[in-house]
Amino acid sequence: MKRALVPICALLLAATLVPSAAASTPPAGDAASGSRTALQPRQGEMDTLQQLPPCPKGAKANRLLTRFPLNTGDHGGIAPLGNLMPPSHTLPTTHMYVSIAGTTYLPVTPGQPPEVAPGNSKNLYAPGRMWIVQLSTFDTIFTDGTVRHEYDYWFGLCNQVKGRFGHVSGISSKIANAIKGVKPECVEYSIPTQWPDRSFRTCSYNNLKIALTAGELIGEAGGHNGNLDVKLVDMRRPDAKFANQSRWLPEVARAVCFLDYYPAKLKGTLYGFLGNSDLSIKRTVEPRCGQIAQDVAGTAKGAWLHQVTGWFMGREDDQLALVNDNIEPQYQVVSMGAAGISKGIPSGTWRFIPQKSGQVNRDFSQVTPDGKVYCYDDGRQEAKVLITMPSATKLRVGTTTGSCTGAQTLDVYVEFDR
């Protein structure tokens, strides 16, 4: 069965490769959704959010959206929260993907993310009364002189609920006119080891307050990407529960399913689209819209961080997730970033049916600091993943190319903590 055709994110966007003013600003493509700039604008960039009307309370608290951002025939499946695609989306994603109907993927170049055939743009509409508070442009500049444009913007629905559209391929004349005369903050850079044929330019227009009505045309999606990213953060919500709450910013801990903010009848219809891109696989297990925080304290299950002090600031490529699949949660997934590549531990995903006993493909929630080494084999790749927990808050990962049968040892490893 086909899984969602979610573009592979940019690989290894090391902050040292980009000027500090935009240390995590990514190239166009799905990298935008994994960057600190896209996920967590810097302090002051969205101050106008606090000037918006107060959020409704009571029975109307979540009645903030009335129109889906794409026409029904223009989209396919909607990927639930928690998608995994390491290294840039090593941790469960805090945004959802709305697949664009009619997308054609071009042949993949080894070592490069997939590209889509251009010209498949679909109208993008305001899903409710909203105000755009920050808009960023992402230009990919190829050596032959061609330039590919994409947009990414944050909007407010009220003063405590903000959202983000990513991979917007065009903006309306109203929005274009609104940013005329506004001086953006721009950065140009290149990452020749990953993209030798292109460089990048990003410009951010901050502290906007562009008012839009529900159903108003605001641009296009799908021109250079097979998905529209949609994220919603509700600051009125309690934080999702992590094993170490002090590591997680509200942009992660209070990210919500945007489908839950529609009227009940429309929400029910939209829930029918939760699944992979062509809906050959649907999510039927609750919570239907997916899950970000899956930590089980004292066990291996959940998110793990590598050499991160204080708050986790959004760079995912060195991290680790041991979680349930976002579409078929009866499967568990090892989502390994790039932290162990120098030690021969590959980056990627290993998907399997969890076992309730033994040391092979054991359910993550049953792996504890018991001195044992657990082996994970998805049956499709030579590399196997080895895991052990030296303590309740530390976890070590290694690899073997042999069988998962017999006693395993973990001599070469990379360590994560919570």
Question: pLDDT, tens digit, for every residue of 243-295?
Answer: 999 999 999 999 999 999 999 999 999 999 999 999 999 999 999 999 999 99
Alpha-carbon gap, residue 297 to 417, rounded angstroms: 12
Q: Judging by beta carbons within 10 Å of its beta carbon (0-12, 13-18, 19+), is residue 73 exposed, middle or buried?
A: exposed
pLDDT on residue 22: 27
One-letter amino acid for residue 132 of the chain: I
Query: Which residues, 6+ apart, have CB-to-CB distance to 265 below 8 Å?
Result: none
Q: Does the pLDDT value for residue 3 go beyond 80?
A: no
Distance CA 389, CA 396 (A): 6
**Is there a cis peptide before residue 87, judged by omega within 30 degrees of 0?**
yes
Complete domains list, the chain, with CATH: 15-292 (2.70.70.10), 320-417 (no CATH)
> Is the pLDDT reported for residue 379 higher than 50?
yes
Report the candidate in 365, 362, 366, 390 with the shortest Cα–Cα distance to residue 375: 362
What confidence tens digit (pLDDT) does each residue in 216-246 have? 999 999 988 999 999 999 999 999 999 999 9
392: pLDDT strictly greater than 70:
yes
Q: 3-class DSSP state for residue 35?
A: coil
Q: Give the whole-angstrom CA distance, residue 253 versus residue 247.
A: 10
Please check whether residue 7 is in contact with residue 222, taking contact to mean a CB–CB distance below 8 angstroms.
no
Contact 374, 362 (CB under 8 A): yes
pLDDT of residue 144: 92
Task: Return the structure tokens found at 138.
Answer: 């992402």
**Range 81-110 average pLDDT:** 92
- Residue 303's DSSP bridge partners are 321
Of 5, 7, 10, the closest CA to residue 31 belongs to 10
- Is 70 exceeded by the pLDDT of residue 32? no
Distance CA 132, CA 210 (A): 5
The closest alpha carbon to 189, from 10, 44, 9, 7, belongs to 10
Considering only 13-22, 114-123, 272-281, 385-394, which range has the smallest mean pLDDT? 13-22
The secondary structure of residue 275, as a DSSP letter, is B
327-355 pLDDT per residue, tens: 999 999 999 999 999 999 999 999 999 99
- Candidates 251, 250, 294, 288; CA nearest to 268 is 288
**What pLDDT score was predicted for residue 42?**
67
350 φ/ψ angles, rounded to the nearest 5 degrees: -125, 120
pLDDT of residue 337: 95
pLDDT in tens, 175-208: 999 999 999 999 999 888 767 889 999 999 999 9
Distance (Å, rounded) from C-alpha 131 to C-alpha 107? 39
The model carries a pTM of 0.88
Task: Report d(CA 297, CA 414) in Å as an integer.
Answer: 20
Quickly state the pLDDT bin for 111 (edges 50, 70, 90): low
H/E segment holding residue 395: strand 394-400
pLDDT of residue 45: 85
Strand-pairing partners, residue 136, are 152, 204
Question: Between these two residues, 106 and 52, which has the higher pLDDT value?
Answer: 52
Cβ distance 36 to 14 under 8 Å?
Answer: no
Contact by Cβ (8 Å): 385, 410? no
